[in-house]
Amino acid sequence: MQAGSIVFVLAVGALLAPIGRPQADQQPSAPTPHVSNSTSAGPQFPAVDEANFTAASPTRDAVNAFLKTTWGYDENRVWEVYAIQKTVAEGISKVQVWVAEKPNPQVGNFTFFVTSDGKHLIAQDQILDFGSRPYDNVYRVLQQRGNGPSLGATGKAFELVEFADFQCPHCKEAEPVVQQLLKDFPQARYVFESFPLVSIHPEAFTAAVYGACVFQQGGNDAFFKYADSIFAGQAALEGQGAETALHNSVIAAGLDPEKVSACASSAAGKSSVETSMKLGNDLNVDQTPWLFVNGRGLPMLEVPYDQLKKIIAWQFELDKR
């Protein structure tokens, strides 16, 4: 998945690409300058025409609440709900929003559709949860089913859940990011969920199964020693060196390679990884490393660290109970 559109920004809640200029057919009929959620020095939005609000649901307040949850971490982002209109599909509403970054005068426009029950939005090829708390459903699923190796806090109130692949170079790059996040957010519980991309990484599943068996036999401490060793010697997973790499990483974890190998050959050993993969598939994970912040999905390394910190701090603040 690549960043580069307003729709993707909406999905991950992070500005990963410059806001594009609106297309000609999106220009309002009355382009009177107007400023919303901004100072006079901020971007100039076209005036809102009340005739553009023909649908009863969602309300402007509901759309703004959703956008506030999604984008509120960024004090420079401003937007205006420009239209909420009925469509030919009964109950499906079309929502148009202007969005910009202060003090950049460039203004973008994007469109999404909200389902009749008000619980989902449709944007191009994505179906996302909608509402003032759009990440709660995924958050609950991860609290119930995200039972992989963990670091940090023992409670589940503030969770960072990473889906990773031992043969993925970017997952190796993410290791120091995780360590820094745990320093910056000591209240957080970090969970590692294996998500081997078997179509492109032929040894990733086996490495994940070995990791699951290390976790079963040695707990969290042994698992993360194994993970550190596997990532450090990641190149050895290619070809004939894979068996040696796995053997050495089990030793680095302080366990018996023969016992771990026997576990990895069993159906029970593999089932743990298959369960983790199903969880990722159920949550529409399609790349690694992928990070969920209390249910809010982010492409971990595509977000600059300072921005990642802001998003996490914002989401944790929203989820204080």
pLDDT in tens, 51-103: 999 999 999 999 999 999 999 999 999 999 999 999 999 999 999 999 999 88
214 touches 255 (CB < 8 A) = yes
Q: What is the pLDDT of residue 41?
A: 59
Residue that finishes a domain, picked among 97, 131, 165 = 131
Q: Where are the alpha helices (DSSP H) in 151-304?
A: 169-184, 204-232, 242-252, 257-264, 267-282
Q: Does 1 map to a domain?
A: no
Cα separation, 208 vs 273, in Å, equals 7
Tokens 């031992």 sit at which residue?
Answer: 166
Q: Do 16 and 33 have their domain in common?
A: yes
pTM of the full structure: 0.86
Does residue 9 register a pLDDT over 80? no
* One-letter amino acid for residue 158 of the chain: F
Core vs surface per residue 88-117: b (16+ CB within 10 A) or e? eeeeebbbbbbbbbbeeeebbbbbbbbbee
Containing domain of residue 178, as a range? 137-318
Q: Do 31 and 105 have their domain in common?
A: yes
Number of domains in the chain: 2
Phi and psi, residue 249, nearest 5°: -70, -35
